[in-house]
């Protein structure tokens, strides 16, 4: 007796037939009337609010159009963008350094970086801005020289730390504490085996971080960094407390003279929305750029899974 399996044809029985074309089951998608009703209600409420806001004569849209491109407003917008770029540059660079020190095997460096994060995340940003602005009250002169020895060079603190410098220091150092935790989370997401393999190939810790770990961690670091940049753009409005002429401070200076608070605040909202929209577009393309490798890896993984693991080689 042969060990081959007996098929339906060999057994004399006819194979089972599928349903006829006319008897096939036709899938009907589920209907969700509640979704359409909810959407219609929300759209109606949105249109009602926008129409009421746009048609309100007290908004004084003529005043909005008059000051939308006013030189003082555009100068304030330029200062806002400059503060955002400078603060994020300090925040990203400082955050990478603090995160690396936080993960250091040296306990002193790790604790010092943890102390930095604790201080700058635990105190309000407005307090930090005021602290840097009034630093000359406790340190009237900043000198450079030998500690407890002769001073080679010194400068007046008020001349060194101006309003703009105090704003950049306050915003940048505060942002570095948050960026340090974002970078640390991204570095922790990379498998430890990557570093071990790099060390086995003779790479130093610095080379491993720069060539292996950091490029992979960027996929997780980029999205929250974009959110922090958008948040920083809006957070710059806090520097009005130290009289830096950014966008909101310029707007306040105008409506303190003509008493048109709401129309001028609408001007500020328009420019903030324009700037954040540009940052949103940049963040989208940057995230897509760093996600390219994920698509290739997924395709390769699917091709490997398509191979039957129990397939025996033919003789």
- The tally of domains found in the chain comes to 1
Q: In which element (H, E) is residue 114 found? A: helix 107-122
Is 34 within a domain? no
C-alpha span between 161 and 174 (Å, rounded): 17
Is 244 within a domain? yes
Mean pLDDT over 244-254 rounds to 92
Tell me the CATH number at 106: 1.10.3720.10
Is 299 within a domain? no
Residues 120 and 87 sit within 8 Å (Cβ to Cβ): no
pLDDT of the residue at 17: 53
Is 43 within a domain? no
User: What pTM, to 2 d.p., does this model score?
Assistant: 0.76
Residues 143 and 151 sit within 8 Å (Cβ to Cβ): yes
C-alpha span between 239 and 130 (Å, rounded): 9
Outline where DSSP puts E strands in 50-147: 141-145
Q: Which domain holds residue 79?
A: 70-143+154-286
pLDDT of the residue at 190: 85
State pLDDT tens for residues 227-236: 999 999 999 9
- The first and second tokens of residue 282, run together, are 């940049």
Is 181 within a domain? yes
C-alpha span between 172 and 237 (Å, rounded): 14
Is 53 within a domain? no
């Amino acid at each position: 007796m042969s060990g081959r399996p007996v098929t339906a044809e060999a057994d004399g029985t006819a194979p089972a037939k599928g349903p006829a074309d006319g008897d096939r089951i036709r899938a009907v998608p589920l209907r969700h009337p509640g979704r359409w009703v909810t959407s219609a209600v929300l759209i109606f409420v949105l249109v009602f609010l926008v129409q009421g806001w746009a048609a309100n004569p007290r908004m004084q849209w003529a005043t909005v159009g008059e000051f939308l491109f006013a030189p003082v407003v555009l100068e304030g917008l330029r200062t806002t963008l400059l503060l955002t770029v400078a603060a994020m540059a300090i925040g990203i660079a400082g955050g990478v350094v603090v995160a690396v020190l936080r993960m250091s095997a040296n306990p002193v460096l790790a604790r010092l970086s943890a102390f930095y994060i604790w201080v700058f995340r635990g105190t309000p940003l407005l307090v930090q801005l005021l602290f840097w602005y009034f630093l000359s009250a406790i340190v009237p002169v900043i000198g450079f020289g030998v500690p407890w020895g002769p001073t080679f060079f010194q400068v007046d603190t008020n001349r060194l730390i101006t309003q703009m410098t105090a704003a950049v220091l306050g915003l940048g150092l505060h942002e570095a504490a948050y960026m340090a935790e974002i970078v640390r989370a991204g570095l922790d997401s990379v498998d430890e085996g990557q570093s071990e393999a790099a060390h086995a190939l003779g790479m130093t810790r610095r080379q491993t971080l720069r060539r292996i770990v950091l490029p992979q961690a960027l996929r997780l670091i980029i999205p929250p960094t974009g959110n922090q940049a958008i948040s920083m753009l809006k957070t710059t409005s806090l520097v009005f407390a130290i009289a830096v002429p950014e966008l909101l401070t310029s707007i306040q200076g105008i409506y303190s003279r003509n008493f048109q608070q709401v129309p001028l605040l609408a001007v500020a909202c328009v420019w903030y929305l324009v700037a954040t929209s540009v940052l949103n577009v940049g963040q989208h393309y940057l995230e897509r750029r760093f996600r390219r490798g994920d698509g290739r890896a997924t395709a390769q993984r699917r091709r490997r899974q398509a191979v039957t693991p129990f397939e025996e080689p033919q003789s």
